[in-house]
Amino acid sequence: MAKAGDILEHPAAGERIIFKTTAADTGGAYTQFEQELLKAGAGSSSQHIHLHTDERFEILAGTATYTLDGQDYTAGPGEVVEIKRGTLHRNPWNRDGGEVRLLRTVTPPSGAELFYETFYGLERDGKGLNLWQAALTSHYIKSETYFFPPNVPMAVQRLAIPLVAFLARLQGYRPWYPQYTQDHP
């Protein structure tokens, strides 16, 4: 379970997270962390949608690129990007390689802390986040986040994720690992 002040690093991607306020601190209302994107491509994600989560990104340094409904935009220091639940988007990322720092707020947290602890931990250990692990962890935290690869409708993903999560468990995957998160209930 993340605590304020905890630092997660993903050196290969050039990313670092510093938790400022956690779900435990806010009674489950939100989590907030600073995210440093230290090289070109850092922070990049596929287009996705959160059905039950809002995200807020305050740009602290550098220029971040983000996508809303298929259109790319940029934001600089002092600007705020609000992504409401149900909006197709890509999180802000570092397009050009200069330092980019964001203050991210996820409301409600929807397991974001556990997801990042698991994802960054696996990456640090050279194991990566594959489809099996992503489906299992996402299903476990009930994130209701869906990605939009070509030709895979959200309805199909809603049916497939629990099945893939079940198969991942059969292969020995776990939704989270004690070496990456502590005191998880």
* pLDDT value of residue 93: 94
Q: pTM for the whole thing?
A: 0.90
Half-sphere exposure of 150 (CA within 13 A, CB side): 0
* pLDDT value of residue 145: 85
Topology at the third CATH level for domain 7-107: Jelly Rolls (2.60.120)
Q: Rounded to the nearest 10 degrees, how much is the dihedral formed by the CA atoms of 3, 5, 8, 9?
A: 180
pLDDT in tens, 101-152: 999 999 999 999 999 999 999 999 998 888 899 999 999 998 888 877 667 8
Interacting residues of 22 by C-beta distance below 8 A, sequence separation 6+:
1, 2, 3, 4, 31, 109, 113
* pLDDT value of residue 184: 64
Structure tokens at 169: 């468990």
Which residues of the chain register pLDDT less than 50?
A: none
Interacting residues of 94 by C-beta distance below 8 A, sequence separation 6+:
14, 37, 38, 39, 40, 41, 42, 43, 44, 62, 64, 65, 100
* pLDDT value of residue 128: 82
Q: Structural domain boundaries of the chain?
A: 7-107, 114-170
* pLDDT value of residue 47: 87
* pLDDT value of residue 1: 82
Phi-psi bin for 172: left (phi > 0), alpha (psi -120 to 50), beta?
A: left
Task: Please state the φ and ψ torsions of residue 7, each to the nearest 5 degrees.
Answer: -120, 130
